[in-house]
Structure 1
């Protein structure tokens, strides 16, 4: 077999732009940007200025030479065409496509010429296609007035409450010629169990007399197929089991499948996954796993720019924050091989939504056949990955049909139920019976039950943020929270890059959520003071986001094992925007990320309802002396209690606060601290707006160290929620910690990573160094 990429020499054209060089893989927006024909779509209001791109037809054209290579067949393999494409070779139409989510293979041997050949891919407007299908099939309700349910394309391309409307077109994944002779390995689908049993399903494009030879873990088996499909079975003795991070190691085994000179190679892991549908618990190798998850959206509106290195950076941010699961959200994509292989290596569980989100989807042709084709391709493609533990039918469509007034608007028209309750589960059962399927999220386990019932299945919590104070999280007693979030602006350097406003204002940040700016301020409630300047707005709304999410996570983790998972909305962003993310669109960690790291720690102390809840999500008991202190803001100890504790593995121990520390003499002038081993927490007895904080006073100095600076802060007064923002001085600078509370006499050391020479004094001054009780002074 011979594969030849066709990634060079492409020209992009349209009636509006003329011809410009094109990069493949890529898309129209990135090509226009590289040619200087448009401004960066992520800056200022360029998103709106560039709306014409999604309503324009585009042509990609290249020429290549070809010589006979001795093989019987040659195919043009298109791994990703976005989206409505007509492909011609040497003037002959060889195929038409209308699905970004699948690949295509076209036989072209009979059309190839010795010497020069011309390949043309014409993309029609995705808007025009989707709107035409809508006119044929009838309107469907959804969260946005966009036609995304009528085309198999990344839904968030059409805009979301965190994402821009940038409707793309282009050859977004590799394209090339593949030559072969005899029979071809059309599909390899290995399914592995924890007992070492491996069933390798093989499909050929035509019968072969040659045997299929499978090798894994030093064991080899072979079989000659009867026809074009069959299974080769083998057993690896005493395999090392693959575990999610925090529960064990992630050994991976090389697996090779050979047919003559052809070879498919991949890696598998031995593990079993079950879903306890009554309690909604994910069970790996017989062990229930508390999910410390984050929702994942496409990391860029232009996915061809998302490299393995970028994914590795984002995954490292997730794992460093204590995350053990990524939910690939239904308004995005089936992600790349790099995505799932990195998850395999790191022990990150993957919950994979099928790409349906927040709308009623028609089930008529040609959409139904496209859905089936893409689902079959990706269920088979991803079968080898041990990290993938759940297929989910959709995001919020079952809830939409039940609770958002869709039924009257639909007037009996199809809305996707046949996909979620019939087609998709049947495909998963046929092709990947080693993994559970769940029809959607939120979902309570049966079509006749309220989808968003906290007592069953998965729920999404959005009354908080939209209407309620974040303390309302305490009113929930859920089984599993698959979405909940609170907004905060991006890092200062990200906002500064994305906006030409001078000076910056709260309105300088992209804000796509309905009433988002008002909700940010309303969400401060009685928790934090009202900002008077941009700097205060930026700090206080970021702090409030971090606090809100930490409060919710801690409440739900303390309910373990009744509640067995939280999946925060969201880990990442695709552009610079005020959103629910912990890592902003430029890859910078927001204060929420640091709060997430604390709330998702293996061992957590949280103060709730007159108790200290000790959450021990490790395989070892947590034993020691819990030290509880009631202290004045001046640092004076007012009461101290020591409690011997023993929290069993994977458990929560609740300890009633002794009266001496449970009730303050003066809530406005006291704090509660709790410490056990390396875990600690500081809690106020009153909301910060009611606390009589003194003006901040400290000794702060910065010194140059290899790789950056070390900033040491020693408190002369209480310093509440001390934070350091070095990106205000260097956009590439980062800091190892945020949101630290110090009592008088206590110190904190911040490690700042930067390659630049900075003014050390600036690292110790407002607004780079600041805390809740006014600016920090040296």
Structure 2
């Protein structure tokens, strides 16, 4: 049997001489962690400050302009193996590999794996393995100068190297240009033959599951081989004749239990075991993985509204309740399986059913996809092109083809993967971002998105749909960001307009839209040492990467909310406004189901502590947006929407059962006095929505600044609110409440009873203890109503502090 031996111990790291290398680093050799990267090794050695704190990032740009050498010595005892390969799962990025002083290979692509035959170079006893990483900047700038510059969103050469683009900085990310052995490295000893690739194409048709298993072998000897495979108690076998390197076998499973997205059913997975055997029956190699039986198709058949973009799983149309995913840390070795599982729990907790892996990051790990399979989280994987014109000349075309073939093959068979996307915003950029004149006819990536990549997906995994870009209208003849066709991104709202403009769009599918807010207070205090902390203090300004970000935040506050008196008010109100903006957008888009069939909010997560569009900040804390998403993405949604000059109650049912319930809609004063009321019976079929226009006596207030609508349905008391005026204009009473605090398992239970209306009551317990979390937020109470907040923390919390500002906040406590 083949025997991999990890080479993860005993590594050291040193910088090669250069004028940019600080004197305290020059000539110093430090222990290195593999998998890992230069930044985390230097940080562990105490040689650099934490790049995530204050503006330390600015003092570390020299790292990306330095050449580095990783080196280790390992012991080897030769066996009788035909081959011993050095298997490198990930080298970041421009690497030269030497063994015992002999060069064995050179790499230029972070997104590929490499394998080198080193049997003849290995010695009995100690062996020295070294990997030199050349400066990514020097490599990228040389290709830029050779091929001619091309437009991009940032003044960095990230499109001239096959490396994580956001390493070079983004409007939410730090500039930390990494280098290192970022994935597994091992010696792999084998004889006769090995399984080079195993590519299961899984389909379901007419109650029959089919696994078409494509296998490629690498040979050291020319003899007949046998591939044996089993799944779901079904076995099949095929012979690979001498001299041949590929085979296909089919396993047919009758009535398999179907894999469903979260919220639509269960996620049964089956072990697929593949064994390669020699002519004499010896087992040579095995591969095991888990697959799920499901069918996927994308409906883009033109209709009366334009071109839909409807994802079907097992022939059921899915309303996508999605979030965009960026790398969860700028340093990938920090992203453990446990950390991914926590993020996935947060996504599921917010009723999310799809993660879109954005094209400026990474092809996500096996852990990511295995966890998505288990959780029922759908995955849209972008090919790695984002916000730039990419060269199609060599060496890039060959590298892109190799990486795409490897990644499509690696991810085939994961039931969670339901869409490949060619790029992020590059086709849109070519149309609208003034690229055409500076390009002057040079390549920009079109051939990748419309020719090369669809060909590769169609050849290697036709079970998964491909879409050329995000956004993309489906045709060269239609603007790529046309809301009536395919997918669109909505960024004019954040950049230029009020968030109520979301209501001007009825898109077929929104693949990106977002609104900013700062991270949790505990995250700010850990990462920024400003005293006093202010929205424009130096550390806060450094951790705001968006162009004119603070001005845009202020524009949003001015349009909707009372002016903040201090930083505590600003922090609460900007977080609240982010939650309001996205909840408004999601509820509006969902209310137009089935014309609109999906929303993907920008974004779920952050890669460091920063003011951004994320719902979960860089320290893993949930912002108020997360709680708003949980409500807006609920399977059953009740919402009040403007319609035809009036108001309508919209009930959205994203379950497989009809939703029938009595509903009441009441127009009230802020003091809770009813002015008008009506009752209706909801009857919302499965996977659909119902729009109920409201009578004029409900839709038209007597005093807009003193009234609201409350709609409630069913025993579970789904509630929707509509205020007739902006908070800044509402005649709020001064906030008044009674609060009690009692012990709860692992924390405290805080009961708040309203004496007056309390708008968007929220607890921020992380201000008392960074470990503290609360179960709900953004609760609006009418006079006499109560809410219970359960707070959990690692240490006891001050009961009195839990019931007053700045920990317990509502909009009308600003008065």
The total of aligned residue pairs comes to 776
1:739 CA displacement: 0.7
1:408 is paired with a residue of what secondary structure? Answer: helix
Residue 75 of structure 2 is matched in structure 1 by 65
Residue 684 (structure 1) aligned with residue 726 (structure 2): no
- Residues 228-261 of structure 1 deviation map (CA, whole Å, 9 limit, x = unaligned): 0010112011101111111111111100000122
Deviating more after overlay: 90-99 vs 673-682: 673-682
| Alignment match of 1:695 (pick from 724, 731, 734) | 734
- Distance, in Å, in 2 between the alignment partners of 1:377 and 1:50 is 33
1:659 CA displacement: 2.8
Residue 768 (structure 1) aligned with residue 807 (structure 2): yes
1:550 is paired with a residue of what secondary structure? Answer: helix
Residue 459 of structure 1 is matched in structure 2 by 488
Residue 669 of structure 2 is matched in structure 1 by 632
> Any stretches of 5+ residues in structure 2 without a counterpart?
278-282, 301-306
- Residues 746-767 of structure 1 deviation map (CA, whole Å, 9 limit, x = unaligned): 0000000112011111100110
Residue 719 (structure 1) aligned with residue 748 (structure 2): no
2:47 is paired with a residue of what secondary structure? Answer: coil
Residue 267 of structure 1 is matched in structure 2 by 290
Residue 250 of structure 1 is matched in structure 2 by 267
CA contact (8 A) 1:767 1:775 kept: no
1:39 CA displacement: 0.7
1:208 CA displacement: 4.4
| Alignment match of 2:258 (pick from 221, 227, 241) | 241
- Residues 597-654 of structure 1 deviation map (CA, whole Å, 9 limit, x = unaligned): 0000001111111100101111111111111111111122222211112111111101
| Alignment match of 2:597 (pick from 530, 550, 564) | 564
- Residues 462-482 of structure 1 deviation map (CA, whole Å, 9 limit, x = unaligned): 000100000100100100000
Residue 280 of structure 2 is matched in structure 1 by none
Residue 576 (structure 1) aligned with residue 609 (structure 2): yes
- Residues 430-464 of structure 1 deviation map (CA, whole Å, 9 limit, x = unaligned): 10011111000111001232100001010000000
- Distance, in Å, in 1 between the alignment partners of 2:269 and 2:331 is 31
CA contact (8 A) 2:569 2:814 kept: no
1:221 CA displacement: 0.5
Residue 91 (structure 1) aligned with residue 106 (structure 2): no
Residue 743 (structure 1) aligned with residue 782 (structure 2): yes
Residue 203 (structure 1) aligned with residue 203 (structure 2): no
1:548 is paired with a residue of what secondary structure? Answer: helix
Matches within 5 A, 1:338-353: 338-353=367-382
- Distance, in Å, in 1 between the alignment partners of 2:463 and 2:559 is 49
Matches within 5 A, 1:353-372: 353-372=382-401
Residue 522 of structure 1 is matched in structure 2 by 555
Deviating more after overlay: 518-527 vs 342-351: 518-527
- Residues 636-695 of structure 1 deviation map (CA, whole Å, 9 limit, x = unaligned): 222221111211111110111123322211111111111112211222111111111111
Residue 50 (structure 1) aligned with residue 60 (structure 2): yes
Residue 9 of structure 1 is matched in structure 2 by 10
Q: Give the alignment's TM-score, normalised by structure 1.
A: 0.99
Residue 49 of structure 2 is matched in structure 1 by 39
| Alignment match of 1:705 (pick from 744, 752, 770) | 744
- Distance, in Å, in 1 between the alignment partners of 2:762 and 2:50 is 31
- Distance, in Å, in 2 between the alignment partners of 1:545 and 1:755 is 28
Residue 29 of structure 1 is matched in structure 2 by 39
CA contact (8 A) 1:54 1:166 kept: yes
1:524 is paired with a residue of what secondary structure? Answer: helix
1:695 is paired with a residue of what secondary structure? Answer: coil
Residue 232 of structure 1 is matched in structure 2 by 249
Residue 657 of structure 1 is matched in structure 2 by 694
- Distance, in Å, in 1 between the alignment partners of 2:437 and 2:708 is 54
- Distance, in Å, in 2 between the alignment partners of 1:418 and 1:431 is 18
Residue 387 of structure 1 is matched in structure 2 by 416
CA contact (8 A) 1:769 1:775 kept: no
- Distance, in Å, in 1 between the alignment partners of 2:79 and 2:319 is 54
CA contact (8 A) 2:641 2:648 kept: yes
1:532 CA displacement: 2.4
CA contact (8 A) 1:183 1:208 kept: no
- Distance, in Å, in 2 between the alignment partners of 1:234 and 1:669 is 67
2:560 is paired with a residue of what secondary structure? Answer: coil
Matches within 5 A, 1:127-138: 127-138=137-148
1:210 CA displacement: 2.5
1:214 is paired with a residue of what secondary structure? Answer: strand
CA contact (8 A) 1:322 1:600 kept: yes
CA contact (8 A) 1:208 1:228 kept: no
- Distance, in Å, in 1 between the alignment partners of 2:323 and 2:496 is 22
1:184 is paired with a residue of what secondary structure? Answer: strand
Residue 217 of structure 1 is matched in structure 2 by 232
Deviating more after overlay: 521-530 vs 434-443: 521-530
CA contact (8 A) 2:744 2:790 kept: no
1:308 CA displacement: 0.4
Matches within 5 A, 1:282-361: 282-361=311-390
Residue 203 of structure 2 is matched in structure 1 by 193
1:338 CA displacement: 0.5
- Distance, in Å, in 2 between the alignment partners of 1:58 and 1:166 is 15
- Distance, in Å, in 1 between the alignment partners of 2:719 and 2:758 is 16
CA RMSD of aligned residues (A): 1.0
CA contact (8 A) 1:83 1:97 kept: yes
- Residues 142-168 of structure 1 deviation map (CA, whole Å, 9 limit, x = unaligned): 111110000000000000000011000
- Distance, in Å, in 1 between the alignment partners of 2:223 and 2:594 is 53
- Distance, in Å, in 2 between the alignment partners of 1:126 and 1:448 is 38
1:775 CA displacement: 5.6
CA contact (8 A) 1:766 1:775 kept: no
2:759 is paired with a residue of what secondary structure? Answer: strand
- Distance, in Å, in 2 between the alignment partners of 1:447 and 1:667 is 47
2:612 is paired with a residue of what secondary structure? Answer: coil
Residue 299 of structure 2 is matched in structure 1 by 276
